[in-house]
Amino acid sequence: MTEMMKAAVYHALEDIRIEERPVPEIRADEILLKTLACGLCGGETMAWYKKSEPKVLGHEPIGEVVRVGADVTDYKVGDRLFINHHVGRVDSHLSRRGHFTRDPFYASMKLDPGGVCEYYRVTAQHLRMDAHKLPDSISTEAAVTIEPWSCVMSGLKVCNIQPGDTVAVVGAGFMGQGFVHLAPLFGAGKVVALDFSDWRLDKAREFGATHTINPKNEDPVEAMRRANNGRLADTVIVIAPSPQAWAQAEELVEVGGTLHLGAPLAPGTDWVRDGGRAYFDQITVTSRYSSDHTDTYSYIRLLEAGRIKAAEAISHRFAIDDSAEAFEMLRKAEKSLKIVVYPHGIPEEKKNA
């Protein structure tokens, strides 16, 4: 193992570079992981979203322990781990009220230097709060979905779904597919996916959608009523980060239902609602930023139980030298779902998968 490594570094949306970086040094209570695989997240394509250039891409890595600090006793070289990129604490006002991810401490905790690199350092707080040894039954590619679809898990926990409810998901990219796929685990009956891409709608059917609607081809409100015995959806989850999508999503919510905001609008973007309807329709608006240690624990147990078709969400694989191409595919958001980068090379059995 050398003391230098490759890292895919974001300088701008169209400027992803492969750079040499020092392998991070660890303290006595920390560990160093070899990056086995790392997923790319759509949030990384939002130029305004938490960018500090230059920045190592990726926050969805799965790693193998290669160095262990002298004070670490729970992990050993060779262990395969998932460790959440941000972790919270228990001794703050927001954390004690269950809002771990909104405590500023959460955002301050990061993997060093990121995910799309050959090695990364894990702090003692990461090990205390949200570190998991992966059983052999969970493949590395399936494990790549733990961070993003734990965010889905976090959102579904506040969607107020009652057994048999109709759930609509506006936006059928990778995260939308997660909401489609996991909603039945929370009691959803009919699950309706909406997207402008027929390819994505076909994928939504594979992940459990009972109905699909393409707003380019039909009026979504009328289509929803046809699919749902004349009613709108009990819960509508909007993943598309645009005011138009949010407005469309609100039109699909039945009286007394829930509108869940699953992706942010850019800061300063107005979201205007009808004040009369906001009062009389008794629609609950919810949101959840990221995932905490309780969400990842729930998701990993469901994954281990075989309830989640995680590996089937992996659509493309790239070597680290091709990270710019991978990022461009992510930006175009066409016929792709989860894109995975392999910093030490794509495994032979996955090259033609």
Checking if the pLDDT of 149 tops 60, the result is: yes
pLDDT value, residue 47: 76
pLDDT value, residue 22: 97
User: Please, are residues 144 and 138 in contact by the beta-carbon 8 Å criterion?
Assistant: no
User: Please, are residues 339 and 330 in contact by the beta-carbon 8 Å criterion?
Assistant: yes
Checking if the pLDDT of 50 tops 60, the result is: no
Q: Chain-wide mean pLDDT for the chain?
A: 96
Cis peptide before 343 (omega within 30 of 0): no
Confidence class of residue 44 from pLDDT cuts 50, 70 and 90? confident
The mean pLDDT of 53-71, rounded to a whole number, is 96
pLDDT value, residue 353: 73
Which tokens belong to 88? 């919270």
The mean pLDDT of 26-44, rounded to a whole number, is 96
- What percent of the chain shows pLDDT beyond 90? 93
The mean pLDDT of 15-38, rounded to a whole number, is 98
The mean pLDDT of 310-333, rounded to a whole number, is 96
Does residue 52 or residue 16 have the better pLDDT? 16
Residues of the chain with CATH 3.40.50.720: 159-287
The mean pLDDT of 112-127, rounded to a whole number, is 98
For residue range 75-85, what is the model confidence (pLDDT) as tens digits?
Answer: 999 999 999 99
Q: Any residues with CB less than 8 A from the CB of 335 and at least 6 apart, and which?
A: 197, 199, 315
Residues of the chain with CATH 3.90.180.10: 4-148+291-350
User: Please, are residues 315 and 337 in contact by the beta-carbon 8 Å criterion?
Assistant: yes
Checking if the pLDDT of 19 tops 80, the result is: yes
- What percent of the chain shows pLDDT beyond 70? 99
The mean pLDDT of 101-117, rounded to a whole number, is 97
The superfamily (CATH) of domain 4-148+291-350 is Medium-chain alcohol dehydrogenases, catalytic domain (3.90.180.10)
Amino acid at 246: W
Checking if the pLDDT of 226 tops 90, the result is: yes
| CA-based radius of gyration for the chain | 20
For residue range 256-313, what is the model confidence (pLDDT) as tens digits?
Answer: 999 999 999 999 999 999 999 999 999 999 999 999 999 999 999 999 999 999 999 9
Confidence class of residue 59 from pLDDT cuts 50, 70 and 90? very high
The mean pLDDT of 316-322, rounded to a whole number, is 98
The superfamily (CATH) of domain 159-287 is NAD(P)-binding Rossmann-like Domain (3.40.50.720)
pLDDT value, residue 51: 61
| CA 246 remoteness from chain centre | 19
Residue 239: is it exposed, middle or buried by C-beta count within 10 angstroms (0-12/13-18/19+)?
Answer: buried
